[in-house]
Structure 1
């Protein structure tokens, strides 16, 4: 499901509110103006370290997201086929859902290098979500369609592609689109704690450490823009793939 477009007047309104708050506060160290933030962001855009941090963080989060998605689909199928597998995985899924990101971040920093932090955190955020949705979809498959597939003696490949996938895809797409935003925010939050080199989290922490509030605001604006396009790019790819699969008919 695509995000609704925000009307221009809404953006202008909140920028005006931001400007008024900045003027009332009167100190850029507490609340820089939109213009000062934009100027700072423009300066950051011209630095190689800015793009290196973005590329590094996006690469790690994307790796965690894609790995979690693939793993979740596989284990969801295995859990459906084997009850013991599902029972064995249920405590792990519960831990992933319940334990705060900060706790996982600390444990990861004890066990692994900080360079793996965003990857693992993104994996932990996305995996249980996709797993639960796909498993639910499999368990709620229409029995009449399954009987029809058996009646017509369809091969396993044909049954999976033409009967099962169209029922599972909506659940899968929904989980992926929600997981995209979760992985992005959780990954950067973890970086802010672990401070892996050449990351967005490291840049934010450095700006905070030197009381460079305009840079904090500038990086925050950059993160919002990045998150929007990150979600849009992956959502478009996922929707395109799912639509291609859903358009398959009984002509094969």
Structure 2
């Protein structure tokens, strides 16, 4: 904890020195002004609504992706030929720049649909690779025991396989939620969504209000760190 506090202090000092040297708020605002703006945001109801809108986009897509990735990973685990075709395709999707997804999808989808589709295309491959890796790491002896007792499909999924690959599931969730926030904001900006954090950042940029841009960016970092903290606590409890 002490190291983190020292690191934050060092970053703030470096930021202050750079701001003094540049002395131009349009290029780099002062930390004090940014912190004051962040404080003012806390008293604005629109701030919470904006954050919740962006977070809702992430949660909806991640939850859908978790279910679909789990099912597909299980099928790929049972039938190796499925994974042999699916994994290379998803690896290719992961190699495509996110901005290319936005530009291509915008040609035939609305702004909101673009955000959802792009986020799915980014998050789903990540989750699938985590889940299929978890399935493949299941001990062979445990597989024989599962076959011996022949549990029902739902019991097999929820009470057997899900606990066995829990570390992979939680790791995938942590990565997908953190990445999802960043991708969603980028997609909101490029797709021109009329609400959400992306819209707020883009509006501030147009107004040359770099203080607000920095404030929103820091709040996003805090939100991602908070999500990681909650998941870490959940992992420790488990």
The question of a shared fold, defined as TM-score above 0.5 by the shorter chain, is answered with yes
Structure 1 residues 156 and 196, CA gap change in structure 2 (3 angstroms): same
Structure 1 residues 213 and 78, CA gap change in structure 2 (3 angstroms): same
User: What is the Cα deviation at residue 233 of structure 1?
Assistant: 3.6
Q: How many residues align?
A: 236
1:154 to 149, 156, 177: 149
Which TM-score applies when normalising by structure 2? 0.87
Aligned to 2:214: 217
Q: Which segment is superposed worse, 97-106 or 120-129?
A: 120-129
Q: Which segment is superposed worse, 38-47 or 65-74?
A: 38-47
1:172 to 169, 172, 180: 169
Q: Does structure 1 residue 14 correspond to structure 2 residue 11?
A: yes
Q: Distance in 2 between matches of 1:5 and 1:159?
A: 45
Aligned to 2:51: 54
Which TM-score applies when normalising by structure 1? 0.82
Runs of 5+ consecutive residues of structure 1 not aligned to the other structure: 244-252
Which structure 2 residues correspond to residues 58-69 of structure 1 after superposition, within 5 A? 58-69=55-66
Aligned to 2:140: 143
The runs of 4+ residues in structure 1 deviating greater than 6 Å are none
Aligned to 2:229: 232
Q: Does structure 1 residue 207 correspond to structure 2 residue 207?
A: no
Say whether the 8 Å CA contact 2:106–2:191 is kept in structure 1.
yes
Aligned to 1:42: 39
